[in-house]
Chains A and B, each alone.
Chain A
């Protein structure tokens, strides 16, 4: 690379404040069309405001250029386990930006937002139908927010029954980190539950863990090992017999649509990540939406608001925002992430019964196809039929050639594929958690399998190639330790 070419790369990294030139503007504003009013005393006013001064065209080029260093689902295969990076249909975005949905104020009188409330009401019904659980509150704004809501509902349930001693929440060792964090925020003590040799819940350990202090169990189904817990009916029975609540983390719901309803398995409450299963684009880390869906035991505690419908004598339907009888309260200032709800609604409407069931069938076929294609090349800690994702281990490569899961993941980037989830779940050494989703074609999966096999071969022949990967990106591997040791979290003027 010549010095001039290097200058181009460095130019992309110049922050807006460093591009700022006094006098440049990036937007226009209207003239003041009313008489100027008296300003408050100077003591209340600010004297300096350090913000960028950049023209519109420069802004567009800056953001566009730096955006191109992202991998994204529109550009790349993105088999990030447990994240369900599926194609995000464009019609959903178009519907979400119809002014009658995008420009309405959350505090308008209910009579002026009947269309929005009707959409929410129908979505509540769809989620209830898909999960087999009657209560739906769309208020939580992400998966972890739904978990918090569900655990606060669990707390309210036990308190109302006069059992404040029920403090223990059992969480399998394969769970997402949000589960223990949410349980702790809801005031519970976390008890870790081991998995058995097959990757299912260890029933002996479960029986030994339940007591009169049991508040409930948080379980992900399928688990983060990508497995449908063969003991699930017994697990739910043990927890409920001991007076506990069964919480289902719906992050992996993409495996179950039309194949089984969590309500039928006696789950009391779950959340659904609309930004996973129901295609709200992930946006580089949100927004999401995490509706909480509950069975009869917890329904009355759901967060507010929920949408209710009344039909009068002449058949006129009126929709209202209301509070469940013993609500745990509000999760946010308004009614949840409506923009994400609209997209989920559009998605479910497009697919209907047949299309929704096809999602899980193809997601599971795709994952098992990868399992078959890579078995023998990477270690498979749990050698059984997987659901929507498969967890391999790179420990064979690590032992033989010193090549880690991280190296494999970074090398995938050189082939235009986003790395899978690495080092998670924590119970699998050198884990590579691969979730292809249903929106990928056989051709894409064949390419991925070929690449992964090639990488295994490269590990044997040229491990340095993998240690140095990726080779072609704006940045090579990043010094994370330095970032944490000397936190530099904002722009500052050059000294």
Chain B
């Protein structure tokens, strides 16, 4: 019988190999390589569990997964910054190719053209979707993209006030708070359609569609920012851009967005990919990796990381940002998603979301006790005022295999933010609205 002793499948060298190597190195034991470690702190006990075989680990992981209620098995009407959209099979098939998945950051362009060329494709598609001049190769997520956009506006204008609409997601406002605490930026929360900006405002931050799912009057907001010398920073939704006018058409200066909706599984909140685009004249103030097209020593097309003098490994404490490892693989997933759906599909997905969410809204507005308190045009999310606290409704919906909308009673009394995408069939929508009616009737 083979002994039970654990052997790691990830370290190939055997005791005999190690012995031979130590002989070449000229030491008696592995311990002799760690003599610089203070003697009183050497080789502490790790207190980790016993190793698990692949079979045991899989069983345990499936057990953890089974403790979760999973969208797909449950009808799901949650959005608020993370969206369920169909992911074509080729996205995973291509993105999990070892050549993409197990490569490092493409510092060596001769052996990284796969990563570099596809990042250039990502930049191109982001620029085209947003109608902006240029985009970078990606940020950690949409929220940090937005915070970095604010910092970039501060660098460009050399002003230190940031105006942010009160309809921007509270989660993104929290991230902005994290990033702005050290530079001591002043943040003014302002309302759409009301009053001017404070003197010395670097930028106005707008989410389109806003946190509640509704379209802001970007033409007016653009005028309001620019007339006072502030930049317009738009946090955009890339799926909506299949149908709605892009921020570039409103003279936005910087655009941030969350790319997750395009081909990236929900994964409990990450990894996602932040989109970051801006006007040409600001490129040297951009954070993050940027890929440029050039030629090799024989005149052939080649791609390479460029404008690196902005970055931390060259500029150190004077860099535009500290970002290094970002989310290249997730950007690739979005690139494949956009390419597969293409010109026709990206428009159609937006249309499906629009029609289905409006259908759901029309059904809900007919249910006694429920109302739609906001006016205007929404895209795939909308706010419902419920007859009961949304938390209670959501508990009852779970019994019917439905994950309801987000409880936003902190923003809107008894408010629920409902999201409908192409993934929600008519049957799901109608079960959801029937359940709301039934739960509401007992209120």
Contacts and interface: CB of A to CB of B under 8 A. Distances in A.
A32 B343 contact: no
Given A114-B67, A260-B37, 18 more contacts: A24-B342, A34-B355, A34-B426, A49-B242, A72-B99, A72-B101, A97-B92, A101-B267, A118-B67, A178-B324, A259-B43, A285-B326, A286-B140, A333-B172, A350-B51, A355-B11, A483-B294, A489-B135
Nearest to A484: B306
B443 interface: no
A99 to B, nearest CB: 6
A291 interface: no
Interface string B185-202: 000000000000000000
Contacts of B266: 102-106
9 contacts: A50-B128, A60-B93, A67-B100, A67-B114, A115-B66, A118-B64, A187-B184, A232-B38, A365-B33
Name which of B291, B321, B332, B344 has the most chain A CB atoms within 10 A of its CB.
Answer: B344
Contact of B341 (A26, A176, A177, A265): A26
Given A141-B270, A285-B326, A489-B134, A102 B265 contact: yes
B50 A180 contact: no
Interface string B362-399: 10000000000000010000000000000100110010
Contact of A334 (B96, B269, B295, B355): B269
Contacts of A56: 88, 90, 340
B114 A68 contact: yes
Nearest to B47: A129
Nearest to B65: A100
A275 interface: yes
Contacts of A373: 24
Contacts of B318: 184
A93 B96 contact: yes
Interface stretch (A73-81, A394-402, A451-459): A73-81
B52 A284 contact: no
Given A39-B354, A365-B21, A26 B339 contact: yes
Contacts of A330: 143, 171, 174-175, 177-178
Interface stretch (B69-77, B159-167, B223-231, B434-442): B69-77
A91 to B, nearest CB: 5
A288 B22 CA distance: 34
Interface string B411-443: 000000000001001100100000000000000
Interface in B19-60: 20-22, 24-27, 30, 32-38, 41-54, 57-58, 60
A113 B68 contact: yes
Q: What is the interface residue range for chain A against chain B?
A: 35 or more
Interface in B282-322: 283, 289-298, 300-302, 304, 306-309, 311-319, 321-322
B15 to A, nearest CB: 11
B137 A59 contact: no
Nearest to B358: A37
Contact of B20 (A109, A339, A354, A442): A442
Contacts of B307: 484, 487
A315 to B, nearest CB: 16
B271 A70 contact: no
B296 A479 contact: yes
A477 B8 contact: no
B71 A103 contact: yes
B308 to A, nearest CB: 8
B6 A59 contact: no
Contact of A180 (B51, B312, B391, B429): B312
A334 to B, nearest CB: 3
B246 interface: yes
B67 A115 contact: yes
A356 B391 CA distance: 43
A177 to B, nearest CB: 4
Given A30-B422, A442-B13, A106 B46 contact: no
Contacts of B63: 115
Interface in B322-360: 322-330, 332, 336, 338-349, 351-352, 354-356, 358-359
Please provide the 7 A-B residue pairs with the shortest distance between their CB atoms, ordered closest to farther: A100-B65, A334-B269, A283-B329, A106-B269, A115-B67, A187-B182, A352-B51
A213 B141 CA distance: 35
Q: What is the interface residue range for chain B against chain A?
A: 35 or more
B68 A37 contact: no
Contacts of B104: 78, 80, 83, 85, 282, 284-285, 418
B98 A489 contact: no
B157 interface: no
Given A60-B93, A477-B297, A181 B322 contact: yes
A372 B24 contact: yes
A284 B106 contact: yes
B17 to A, nearest CB: 5
A214 interface: no
B78 interface: yes
A132 interface: yes
Given A53-B344, A332-B140, A365-B22, A473 B111 contact: yes
Contacts of A180: 312, 316-317
A148 B69 CA distance: 34
A270 interface: no
B406 interface: yes
A221 to B, nearest CB: 10
B11 A74 contact: no
Given A66-B114, A118-B67, A152 B181 contact: yes
B10 A365 contact: no
Name which of A330, A356, A361, A410 has the most chain B CB atoms within 10 A of its CB.
Answer: A330
Contacts of A335: 268-270
Nearest to A128: B47
Contact of A107 (B338, B348, B406): B406
Contacts of A348: 48
B178 A328 contact: yes
Nearest to A481: B294
Nearest to A115: B67
A52 B110 contact: no
A273 B243 CA distance: 40
A389 interface: no
Nearest to A187: B182
B200 to A, nearest CB: 20
Contacts of B90: 26-27, 56, 59-60
Name which of A228, A284, A337, A440 has the most chain B CB atoms within 10 A of its CB.
Answer: A284
A54 B339 CA distance: 7
B156 interface: no
B300 A91 contact: no
B297 A476 contact: yes
A37 B46 contact: no
A13 to B, nearest CB: 5
Contacts of B54: 91, 350
A317 B140 CA distance: 32
